[in-house]
Amino acid sequence: MKLTGYEDLRVQRTISSIYMAFEKLICEKEYQKITVKELSEMAQINKKTFYRYYPTLDDLLAEMQAQYAKGFLEEVRKLQYPRDLGKSVRSFFTYSAKQGEAYDRITASSVGNYVGIRQQMIDSVMNSTWGESKEFNLLKNWEKRILLNFVEQTGLNVYKQWINQGKKESLEDVIESATALMQGGVDDFLKLNN
């Protein structure tokens, strides 16, 4: 349930409690093993209360991902692609690094429900950013898919690797490496296709 700020204080607390419990469970176990009963107990609500706001755990997960996407899109909304790709890469990494362990588990997962939900978020972000690019829209459909897949997979894989290796490298070094790979690849691809 997306909060507008006009809800009763009890509703706001309930939703906040559900989110906190869900994030904690995501950090503790695989998504498929999380139950509404367990989540409700941790959030100190009954199951009926959970179902008043969310038909399923998948709906809660989708809402959480939508919130992540919304936050990131707010950071990159004024950027123009491909010109501001480097700024976008920096925004992705700094935004992602601030989100916490639950976000990282969802982002780094390569199997299960997180993958589909994460892909929906990525598609939303890519369509909202690259979809506005004049250079991008001059490409053929198959070229657009190649470009988006390259940008998406490169950024995501660099971030996953950083997480999986315990974030040992400095965030700045990771951003520089990802930017060099992505900016070089995109610039060369667009030159080739112009």
Token code pair at residue 73: 């899109």
Q: Which one is predicted more confidently, 36 or 132?
A: 36
Binned at pLDDT 50, 70 and 90, residue 2 comes out as: low
* Helix, strand or coil, per DSSP, at residue 167: coil
Mean pLDDT of 92-106: 93
Token code pair at residue 71: 């936050």
Does the pLDDT of residue 117 top 90, yes or no?
no
Binned at pLDDT 50, 70 and 90, residue 185 comes out as: very high
Does the pLDDT of residue 180 top 80, yes or no?
yes
Q: What angle do CA 49, 31, 64 make, to 5 degrees?
A: 60
- Beta carbons of 155 and 92 less than 8 angstroms apart: yes
**Whole-number Cα distances in Å, 73 to 66, 78, 96, 129:** 10, 9, 12, 8
Share of the chain above pLDDT 70, in %: 94
Residue-wise pLDDT tens digits, 23-71: 999 999 988 899 999 999 999 999 999 999 999 999 999 899 888 888 8
Binned at pLDDT 50, 70 and 90, residue 1 comes out as: low
Share of the chain above pLDDT 90, in %: 58
User: CA torsion 38→39→45→51, rounded to 10°?
Assistant: -110
Binned at pLDDT 50, 70 and 90, residue 135 comes out as: confident
Token code pair at residue 15: 């939703």
User: What is the reported pLDDT for 55?
Assistant: 95
Cis amide prior to 82 (ω within 30 degrees): yes
Other CB atoms within a 10 A radius of the CB of residue 100 amount to 12
Tell me the C-alpha distance between 7 and 3, whole Å. Answer: 7
